[in-house]
Amino acid sequence: MPVRVVDTATPSSQPSPGQETNSVHPSPPSCSLLSAGRCFAGTQNVSSLQKDEAWKVNVRIHGCDLEQGYLCGTMEALNVPLADTPVVTFWEGEIVDAKNYTFFTGKWEASPEDDIRHWSKFPSFTPLLSQVETDGGKSLDLSNYPHIFMRWKEQYFVNVGVDCGLTIAGFYYVCFSCSDGSISGFYYDPSSSPFQKLELKCTNEKNSGFTFSSYELQ
């Protein structure tokens, strides 16, 4: 949620070329650190040519369904200069599994070239690059891969109005480590500073959440 530069309408979340409906690939590895209620803390670098700046960020996963390639949660940005209170947004995520979603976004003003440029920022993506350039990764088996790739799209502000000075027009390219729960990401929005980096660590705290497979409130 970088500083707003221009007003941009939130894109539609209708199915797109980045979403796959076939089921020929297994789901990503089940990972206890990527589950409903899990919390993460870290920073987002929002530096621009004018100044260096980083915000403290807390993320909580509220729902996760690996079979459908879906998760959702909230993001809380602290010490935001233009806000009198921490800014909380609700986001929904797409898990790149070659079954429900590929590495090609196909929406949100992101071209395949934009996708490759951002995914390539993650060292763990390097072994997958050639195949993704060929078909978006449709033929990859990611079920045992030690990292899970996702896109997080903020949907709305939870506790502030749209005039808070921030924008949620873009989305995050995200890489999650199954070994330690660390998260790295890069924000993409043509109207914002490029490659704003998100870095989060799992806090080992698990609060309230729900799992779609059981529809159980915890």
210 domain-assigned: no
What does the alpha-carbon distance between residue 199 and residue 168 come to, in Å, rounded to a whole number?
Answer: 18
Here the CATH number for the domain that contains residue 133 is 2.40.128
Overall domain count for the chain: 1
88 domain-assigned: yes
Per-residue tens of pLDDT for the chain, all 218 residues: 665 443 333 333 344 445 544 445 555 556 778 999 999 999 998 766 556 678 899 999 999 999 999 999 999 999 887 778 899 999 999 999 999 999 999 999 999 999 999 999 999 999 999 999 999 999 999 988 999 999 999 999 999 888 777 889 999 999 999 999 999 999 999 888 889 999 999 997 665 443 333 333 33
As a three-state string, the secondary structure of 131-199 is HHHHHCCCCCCCCCCCEEEEEEEEEEECCCCCCCCECCCCEEEEEEECCCCCEEEEEECCCCCCCEEEE
Are 192 and 172 spatial neighbours (Cβ–Cβ below 8 Å)?
no
Are 189 and 169 spatial neighbours (Cβ–Cβ below 8 Å)?
yes
107 domain-assigned: yes
Q: What is the pTM of this model?
A: 0.81
18 domain-assigned: no
41 domain-assigned: yes
What does the alpha-carbon distance between residue 20 and residue 12 come to, in Å, rounded to a whole number?
Answer: 17
Question: Residue 18: what pLDDT?
Answer: 52
Question: Residue 14: what pLDDT?
Answer: 42
218 domain-assigned: no
111 domain-assigned: yes
* Full domain range(s) for residue 148: 3-9+26-202
Angle at the Cα of 158 from the Cα atoms of 62 and 82, rounded to 5 degrees: 125
57 domain-assigned: yes
Question: Residue 51: what pLDDT?
Answer: 63
